């Protein structure tokens, strides 16, 4: 399905019935990220899977400012309004988690609950953000210069995804093919427009979000384990779960555990 929002054609899929559950994929992902879970989750929820700007079948505009995270959050709200959705649950993974949190901070009245997987509220200091902007700019230039295949060769071998190497070759190849379907301009402008450095810090927003929050991270993803602990101590109503023997891509590395733990938590929220 498609919806044109402020000049950008967004691709999205709907599945199932029940309270709305918006799913936001990570950097280099698309709606296929959620394919293994939609049947289970769709039994109790209406699943809304969106290709974030610059990814999948959604447009990849040339102006990187169009990718700014608050603007994209506004796009998502417009998409939801177009679907006559007034309140919902949101699950975001990594980059999608940062977008989910930005949406929650900007439109808290729409949130029933928030699930953040391997994600963060951004960087606290201007210095940290500026350093990250420089890193992301170099990576964006690399994508444009070397192309998608060379970038994917590099990206799948960074330390963040080391634990993925333990998975069967077929699973690794599925992840690789999903990444190879992306476009150079989409990924490079995503880094420039809504990278972690460009995103405003959301740490001060966390204490104001008085909704149920679920924080998931993999035990081997030590950076995000620490961030999740800090977030749990800052949110008024947050639960944290560490998935053992998993890294950053919990939804791939521990697919069955991930699918069940999300479902159990959502149903608990729904029944309270």
Write down the pLDDT at residue 73. Answer: 98
CA-closest candidate to residue 6, choices 55, 49, 63, 47: 63
Helices 69-82, 95-106: inter-axial angle, 10-degree rounding: 70
Average pLDDT over the chain, rounded to whole? 97
Q: pLDDT band for position 221 (50/70/90)?
A: very high
- For residue 95 the two structure tokens come to 């980059």
Percent share of the chain, pLDDT over 90: 99
* pLDDT surpassing 90 at residue 64: yes
**Domain of residue 37, CATH code:** 3.40.50.1820
For residue 151, the SS3 value is helix
Distance CA 140, CA 267 (A): 40
Q: Are 42 and 16 in contact (CB under 8 A)?
A: yes
The whole-number average pLDDT for the span 176-195 is 97
The whole-number average pLDDT for the span 120-129 is 96
CA-closest candidate to residue 21, choices 93, 96, 92, 123: 92
138 contact partners, CB below 8 Å, separation of at least 6: none
- For residue 130 the two structure tokens come to 């500026």
Distance CA 238, CA 234 (A): 8
How many C-beta neighbours within 10 Å does residue 137 have? 16
* pLDDT surpassing 90 at residue 71: yes
The whole-number average pLDDT for the span 260-264 is 98
- For residue 13 the two structure tokens come to 């899929």
* pLDDT surpassing 90 at residue 137: yes
Lowest mean per-residue pLDDT among 30-34, 250-254, 259-263, 268-272:
268-272
For residue 185, the SS3 value is helix
Write down the pLDDT at residue 272. Answer: 85
Q: Are 122 and 196 in contact (CB under 8 A)?
A: yes
Provide the number of structural domains found in the chain.
1
Distance CA 15, CA 3 (A): 16
Q: pLDDT band for position 158 (50/70/90)?
A: very high
Structure confidence by residue, pLDDT tens digits, 37-52: 999 999 999 999 999 9
How many angstroms separate the Cα of 76 from the Cα of each of 25, 69, 265? 13, 10, 24
Write down the pLDDT at residue 182. Answer: 98
Distance CA 211, CA 226 (A): 21
266 contact partners, CB below 8 Å, separation of at least 6: 21, 41, 44, 45, 89, 113, 115
Q: pLDDT band for position 105 (50/70/90)?
A: very high
For residue 147, the SS3 value is coil
- For residue 252 the two structure tokens come to 């791939």
For residue 224, give its domain range. Answer: 2-271
Distance CA 141, CA 146 (A): 8
Write down the pLDDT at residue 164. Answer: 96
Distance CA 68, CA 72 (A): 6
């Amino acid at each position: 399905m498609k919806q044109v929002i402020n000049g950008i054609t967004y691709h999205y899929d709907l599945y199932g019935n029940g309270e709305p559950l918006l799913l936001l994929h990570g950097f280099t992902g698309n709606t296929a990220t959620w394919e293994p879970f939609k049947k289970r989750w769709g039994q109790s929820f209406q699943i809304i899977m969106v290709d974030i700007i610059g990814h999948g079948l959604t447009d990849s505009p040339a102006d990187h400012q169009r990718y700014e995270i608050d603007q994209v959050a506004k796009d998502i709200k417009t998409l939801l309004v177009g679907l006559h959705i007034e309140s919902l649950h949101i699950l975001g993974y990594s980059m999608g988690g940062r977008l989910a949190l930005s949406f929650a901070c900007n439109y808290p009245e729409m949130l029933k609950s928030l699930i953040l997987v391997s994600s963060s509220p951004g960087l606290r200091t201007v210095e940290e953000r500026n350093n990250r902007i420089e890193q992301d700019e170099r990576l964006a230039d690399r994508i444009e210069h070397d192309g998608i295949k060379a970038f994917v060769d590099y990206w799948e071998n960074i330390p963040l995804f080391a634990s993925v190497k333990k998975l069967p070759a077929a699973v690794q190849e599925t992840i690789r093919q999903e990444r190879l379907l992306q476009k150079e301009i989409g990924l490079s402008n995503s880094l420039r427009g809504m990278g972690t450095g460009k995103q405003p810090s959301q740490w001060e927003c966390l204490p104001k979000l008085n909704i149920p929050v679920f924080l998931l991270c993999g035990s081997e993803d030590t950076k995000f384990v620490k961030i999740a602990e800090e977030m749990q101590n800052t949110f008024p109503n947050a639960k944290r779960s560490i998935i053992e023997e998993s890294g950053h891509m919990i939804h791939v590395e521990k697919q069955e555990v991930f699918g069940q733990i999300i479902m159990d938590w959502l149903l608990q929220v729904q029944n309270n």
